[in-house]
Amino acid sequence: MEWNWEFTWEIMPRMLVATGNTLIAAGLGYSIAIVLGLFLALAQRTPISLLTLIVREFVEFIRSTPLVLQIFFVYYVGPQYGIDLSPWVAGMIAIGLHYSAYLSEVYRGGIESVPVGQWEACRSLSLSTSDTYFRIIIPQALPPSVAGMGNYLVGIFKDTPMLSVIGVAELMHAANAIGGQHYRYLEPYTIVGVIFLLISLPSAGVIRVFETWVRRKLGMI
């Protein structure tokens, strides 16, 4: 089969709109994950050991089951109990929850990397718990977490094609639709692959630069 440039240009506008949707989906999902992940990480540091245990197992469960199955679960289980979720809402909940489990591990690693002396210093200055976390611990936990957080930003972007299974109109969904309409799969799927490479490879580089910037900003280099 020959590559058809005319067809390529014809479908390009649709593919670019879908690329926008992919980026929006990744951004929204990541925003949810970044906030929820912090809660999951902090919940594992409370003195209530039962809560720690439950959150720990929950995180393990999310991390060891397939995202695509979680997307189906969120999308189809709601209506069974009378809650109708649109594909976008269900998709964002599923992907946000999935990555929040990963990000909570990143935060946990970052918080644990803060030296014990910092905690002791906070206690001896009798800082409140929130001051201890927000003014002393989290700023220091951030730089070691940036690399992991960046990797998961690229990761969430690469996982957005799974949202096509419930009909979120992102890149993969557009490629499937175009392929089905024109009986040509070569161009749409190749374009999807190229767009993913064009976005994810440079962003990995940008994240490295950002990581160095954060470290310098906080006076760690």
Spatial separation of the C-alpha atoms in residues 58 and 78, rounded to whole Å: 19
Spatial separation of the C-alpha atoms in residues 94 and 86, rounded to whole Å: 12
Q: Which of 20, 27, 79, 139 binds another protein (CB under 8 A)?
A: 79
Q: Does 183 bind another protein (CB under 8 A)?
A: no
Would you say 39 or 76 has its CB closer to another protein?
76
Q: Which of 6, 13, 49, 80 binds another protein (CB under 8 A)?
A: 80
Asked if 3 and 187 count as a contact pair (C-beta separation under 8 A), the reply is yes
Q: Does 205 bind another protein (CB under 8 A)?
A: no
Q: Does 30 bind another protein (CB under 8 A)?
A: no
Q: Does 7 bind another protein (CB under 8 A)?
A: no
Burial tier of 104 (Cβ tally within 10 Å: 0-12, 13-18, 19+): buried
Cβ-Cβ contacts under 8 Å for 28 (sequence gap 6 or more):
92, 96
Minimum separation from the CB atom of position 168 to another protein (A): 13
Spatial separation of the C-alpha atoms in residues 180 and 182, rounded to whole Å: 6
Asked if 91 and 26 count as a contact pair (C-beta separation under 8 A), the reply is no
Strands (E), 54-213: none
Asked if 36 and 96 count as a contact pair (C-beta separation under 8 A), the reply is yes
Q: Does 70 bind another protein (CB under 8 A)?
A: yes
Would you say 48 or 83 has its CB closer to another protein?
83
Minimum separation from the CB atom of position 38 to another protein (A): 22
Q: For residue 1, what are its two tokens?
A: 């089969």
Minimum separation from the CB atom of position 16 to another protein (A): 17
Q: For residue 74, what are its two tokens?
A: 């969120």
x/- string (CB under 8 A) for another protein, residues 89-128? ----------------------------------------
Q: Does 213 bind another protein (CB under 8 A)?
A: no
Q: Does 54 bind another protein (CB under 8 A)?
A: no
The one-letter amino acid code at 40 reads L
Q: Does 24 bind another protein (CB under 8 A)?
A: no
Q: Which stretch binds another protein (CB under 8 A): 4-12, 38-46, 79-87, 206-214?
A: 79-87
Q: How far is CA 102 from CA 99, 146, 187, in A?
A: 5, 13, 34
Give the residues lining the site for another protein (CB under 8 A).
1, 60-61, 63-70, 72-73, 76-77, 79-81, 158-162, 164-165, 172, 175, 179, 185-186, 189-190, 192-193, 196-197, 200-201
